């Protein structure tokens, strides 16, 4: 299975926090035999998040969203 992680939050993009959620998810998915294809970070904007999820759905079987 192919997964894509979407990390949302202005604080991630501004460098105010480190995205440890994605690292944890990658490790957990690897242990389950799931390949993480990509990690994407976007700001807190509903339209951008929705558009990104639509794009991800075209190339990945799993989309995990974290942040907010």
Q: Distance between CA atoms of 59 and 54, rounded to whole angstroms? A: 10
- The percent of residues in the chain predicted with pLDDT above 90, rounded, is 99
User: Residue 32 is encoded by which pair of tokens?
Assistant: 């389950």
* pLDDT 10s digits, 34-66: 999 999 999 999 999 999 999 999 999 999 999
The predicted model scores a pTM of 0.91
Range of the domain at 6: 2-67
Q: Is the pLDDT of residue 68 over 80?
A: no
Q: How confident is the model at residue 16 (pLDDT cuts 50, 70, 90)?
A: very high
The domain total for the chain is 1
Looking up residue 29, the CATH number of its domain turns out to be 3.40.980.10
Write the burial class of residue 14 (CB in 10 Å: 0-12 exposed, 13-18 middle, 19+ buried).
Answer: exposed
Average pLDDT over residues 9-22: 95
């Amino acid at each position: 299975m192919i997964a894509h992680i979407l990390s949302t939050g202005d604080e991630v993009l501004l460098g105010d926090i480190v995205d440890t959620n994605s690292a944890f998810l990658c490790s957990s998915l690897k242990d389950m035999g799931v390949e993480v294809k990509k990690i994407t970070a976007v700001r807190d904007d509903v339209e951008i998040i929705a558009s990104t999820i639509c794009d991800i759905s075209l190339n990945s079987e799993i989309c995990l969203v974290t942040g907010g």
